[in-house]
Amino acid sequence: MTVDFKGRVAIVTGAGVGLGRSHALGLARRGAHVVVNDLGADTDGTGGSSDAARAVAQQIRAQGGRAIANGANVTDTGQVQQMVDDAIAEFGRVDILVNNAGILRDKTFAKMSLADFRTVLDVHLMGTVNCTHALWPHMIERGYGRIAFTTSASGLYGNFGQSNYGAAKAAMLGLMNVLAQEGARHDIRVNTLAPTAATRMTENLLPPEALDLLAPDTITPGLLALVSDAAPTQMILGAGAGCFAETKVYETAGVALQGSDLSPEGVLAAMDRIRDPSGQAQVENAFAQTRKYARMAAEARGLPLPWQD
């Protein structure tokens, strides 16, 4: 199967440098018209210039593609809506959204100001929400959409000194899970990329010998798969150095406690059984978990099942 974006229109945020730049160029090489969005800020979100976005758009045009540069701040809903309107005016529609823009303000939680915590959440989480919300009605109306969020191992697994970044990136999981369900009947597929890349945001965190292995262009093929016509939905794709893996959330089989065991002491006593991974499984949605617990409790008490699976 050949992945072809000919005639498709994509918006890529944070596309002036690093991963975003690689994604924008990768989409353009396979035929997509691209809105190259970048505020041009430093890694901490300060400053701003559209020079980087213009340079990427010019590179795409020089290679025979179509692209426009955009300097919208993803935290500003008015600017985001204008970006979407400009994209539709220029290209007629938008099929693909790659939410990639982000900043870092790393400190331990004890030393971090709430202002820095909130700013990182605003860019990563609300920036993603703003762009997605602005495009959502358009994609519903057209009956097609491919949306990619960007998470991080810091959100999925934790990383010292990145409580703000980790919280914002973990939020992508919840947003994806809901929007993948809400968008399914409109052929809107929502996935999340979990990249490990050598970019200006990570260059001081990685040893020099790892930088070449973790180049952004080793990750972009995964992103292109997540926004293709044949894309999955509700998937977290780990990517780095040409390596790809899926991250999933599982729930153990668990235990049903009653009587004197239904107490803090009983929960602690049962902790090994609660955490036993044998029989663990994915949970389809939030209400599936509710059904599971009600069924387990009914079975433990010898009561009729509240409903059948």
List 144, 157, 165, 250, catalytic entry: 165
Q: What's the chain look like in SS3?
A: CCCCCCCCEEEECCCCCHHHHHHHHHHHHCCCEEEEECCCCCCCCCCCCCHHHHHHHHHHHHCCCCEEEECCCCCCHHHHHHHHHHHHHHHCCCCEEECCCCCCCCECCCCCCHHHHHHHHHHHHHHHHHHHHHHHHHHHHHCCEEEEEECCHHHHCCCCCEHHHHHHHHHHHHHHHHHHHHHHHHCEEEEEEEECCCCCCCCCCCCHHHHCCCCHHHCHHHHHHHCCCCCCCCCEEEEECCEEEEECCCECCCCCCCHHHCCHHHHHHCHHHHCCCCCCECCCCHHHHHHHHHHHHHHHHCCCCCCCC
165 catalytic? Reply is yes
Q: Report, as residue numbers or ranges, the catalytic residues.
A: 165
